[in-house]
Amino acid sequence: MKNKFKITGMTCAACSRAVERAVKKLDGIDKAEVNLAIEELYVEYDEKKVSEDDIIRAVEKAGYGAYLKNIKEVTLKISGMTCATCAKTIERVLGRSDGILNAEVNFALEKLYVKYDTSKVRLSMIKSIIKKAGYDVVEDLKEKEKGDTKGKNNKSLFNLKIAAIFTLPLLYIAMGHMLNFPIPEIIHHHKNPLNFALVQLILTIPTVYAGRRFYIVGFRNLIKLSPNMDSLIAIGTSAAIIYGLFAIYQIAIGNTEYAKELYFESAATIITLILLGKYLEARAKNRTSEAIEKLINLSPKMATIIKDNMEIEIPTEEVEVEDVVLVRPGERIPVDGVVIEGKTTVDESMLTGESIPQLKEEGSNVFAGSINKNGWIKFRVTKGKEDTVLSQIIRLVEEAQSKKAPIARLADIVSGYFVPVVILISIVSSIAWYIVTKDGVFSLTIFISVLVIACPCALGLATPTAIMVGSGKGAELGVLIKSGEALEMLHKVDVVLLDKTGTITEGRPTVTDIKAYNIEEEKLVSYAASLERLSEHPLGEAVYEFAKDKGIDIYDVVDFKSITGHGVYGKIQEREVLVGNTKLMKEYNIDISGVERYIEEISKLGRTAIIVSIDREVKGVIGIADRVKENSRRAIELIKNMKKKVVMLTGDNYLTAKSIADEVMVDEFIAEVLPQNKADVVKEYQSKNKRVLMVGDGINDAPALAQADVGMAIGSGTDIAIESADVVLMKSDLLDAAYSIELSRKTIKNIKENLFWAFFYNVIGIPVAAGVLVLFGGPRLNPMIAALAMSFSSVSVVLNALRLKGFRPKK
């Protein structure tokens, strides 16, 4: 068997070799070759021994993404949906189609996420299936989306105004006499009953036209045996209107008593109230996607490039890689790049949540959407508009909002059966009451009330709206959650595994201790740093950076020598200087007995000791360690307070690991873990039925991130780690890991509240509408009140989800 797979997450030739090695380890693989340029894996294999899924899993465990070359994923904007049943209908018809691997509809966002096999089905065929089901696909998704939303809201408002203008006088005419309001004699129900009825019919017609969509979609879906919310409204109000026409006929032939049995005002009011509810719901739903809109608006529409020493303003979309862009004070940076001239501070809080402006000078990276504060800079473009960090963030948030969380499945199952069951209940209860009371008007009222009050909208909105707001809030805080599933799983994890280097610690060596003997500390550091400036060792670089930050003098060095594995030698101001470990000192026969105890003390604290000798005499010891990040201890404390077990993983020796573990107070630590064994640690906890959150930042963390129930990457880490993770912490602050777990808990709690009220509303509302209270001497439910309650249920669910916008993490 031969096949081609698309590989994501590769950045260099080493990545392609890693993918090849991972696949070749599988039994049954005859050939595996990666083309890095086109990001493609060609495989020849025995399909009896290994499957496509096995190959994809092997690539993912290596820290990369993979999918069959002929498998595509697209997101389509769907118009014409009015409730959760519509979403379920689209999923069902697509699910029955050959070649569709997965189809998920987000009713709140009106988006379809579909994964399909291009060898079996084309995108045009998918669109055709959707249209045959009674819905439309909006072309040019990104361009039209914003305008469509605005236009849809304006159209909804126009229809609402039309309905309200005609419904208010209709209500006055139909019910004014009950309140002794003055009614013109020409349309008085006693003196001119036929005119009274005809005027109501005339006023009802524009309202029905304003709500025509309910009838067009409702009856079409009913004919196709896929009834939805529109079908309930269409059947209920049509029954009231048809009965009204029958009443007009009776009045015309002399049965004027029927003037008391007109239900035109009920039909018109139901339509008006539902249009009002839909308009309020749409406005509230728009607020749930504000996070995406804010991110999109961060990127300026125009950019100033330098070409032939001239400043040219062009649209940001036309900026190319290698262009030189000029950004003045107060302007937003249009695309990603590297500064080549100038110096400024840049506010990146919109992208990372970090409030302190960052210094940018030659060699610094700048990112689209950030604000240049007080200086001018020129930078060379490294990524086009579609590939910027901002664009990646927008894609991640959109994907998270489009894909369903597991908790949504319950609502999907219920809404799929809901409408047919409601229609059955309305028919049965109406017939039962007619048999008992012989009152056609009463049974009609029951029929309409049940249909109108039972709307699955609240069920359909319960989950996606909360996920939209929750993932959007995460993006505001600098936490990118890639899927609804990850958002749901975060708060359920039992064990949090933390990689040490770059996650708990800074990830780079720093001077932590200085002990000088018969010499000033500054002079000691000055001599050491002068030598280490010429060294390429990370520990030497730490000493030099420390001296540079403190403004300590650096001297010229002669006769410099680097002794691999030992240290450095040189002459400064005609004095012989040695900087290195105990082996270097012994090689040069220098007595270190006076500092051995101090070296032992700092070694127990996880520090690396560098000895400084001047003219063959030890003058001091410099301790170097990977410093713990400022917020790591507080973050671990917060996670432990959430009843999660916190475990630190590191490749360091036991003493260094214990020192860091004691400082940040983790529950456990595992030292001397080889990079390839981190995923095995994850598996070990999973074998004990523990759900695992893995937090890491490096290439060697990628397999563990992919293996964990939730993988969380530090934003400053490698692209491969970020690609493998379910959650990305843009600020590289471990506190955000604690915040994301709390945000997950709050979001799922919000979803459960929404689902509870949606179910509770229908469990209570339908029996009341069916006349249960009447059996005990209570009132019947007026259809107009049922319509108001139905609209309120959807709006209340969305408003409850919007409470998540007020989420404030514990500091």
Q: What is the secondary structure of 166-183 as a DSSP string?
A: HHHHHHHHHHGGGGT---
Torsion sign across C-alpha atoms 722, 724, 728, 733 = negative
CA dist., res. 436 & res. 442, Å (int): 11
Instruction: Determine the Cα–Cα distance for residues 528 and 553; give it in Å rounded to an integer.
Output: 11
3-state secondary structure of 755: helix
Using DSSP bridges, classify how beta strands 65-68 and 692-696 pair: parallel, antiparallel or unpaired: unpaired
Contact 570, 558 (CB under 8 A): yes
H or E element in which residue 671 lies = none
Backbone angles phi, psi at 530, to 5 degrees: -60, -40
**In whole angstroms, what is the distance from residue 487 CA to residue 481 CA?**
6
Q: Yes or no: say if 698 and 501 are a contact pair by the CB < 8 Å rule.
A: yes
Q: Which amino acid is at 150?
A: K
Which amino acid is residue 653, in one-letter code? N
Q: How far apart are CA 240 and CA 441, in angstroms?
A: 10
By the 8 A CB rule, do 451 and 787 touch? no
Count CA atoms within 13 Å of residue 292 on its CB side. Answer: 23
| Contact call for residues 660 and 500 (beta carbons, < 8 A) | yes
Q: Considering only CA atoms, which of 539, 660, 713, 683 is closest in space to residue 609? A: 539
Which runs of E-coded beta strand occur in 80-182?
100-106, 111-117, 136-138
* Contact assessment for residue 646 and residue 498, using Cβ atoms and an 8 Å cutoff: yes
Q: Which of 482, 524, 391 is nearest to 722 (CA)?
A: 482
Q: Give all strands of the β-sheet with 575-580 in edge-to-edge order.
A: 505-516, 617-628, 608-614, 575-580, 567-572, 558-563
Catalytic residue among 230, 336, 499, 652: 499
Calculate Rg over the CA atoms of the chain: 35
Q: Where are the beta strands (DSSP E) in 362-472?
A: 365-366, 371-372, 377-381
The contacts of residue 344 (CB under 8 Å, 6+ apart) are: 329, 359, 360, 372, 373, 374, 375, 376, 377
Cβ(649)–Cβ(681) below 8 Å: yes
Which residues pair with residue 694 across a beta bridge? 497, 711
Burial 245-280 (b: 16+ CB within 10 A, else e): eebbebbeeeebebbebbbbbbbbbbbbbbbbbbbb
Question: Is 499 part of the annotated catalytic residue set?
Answer: yes
**Catalytic residue positions, numbered:** 499
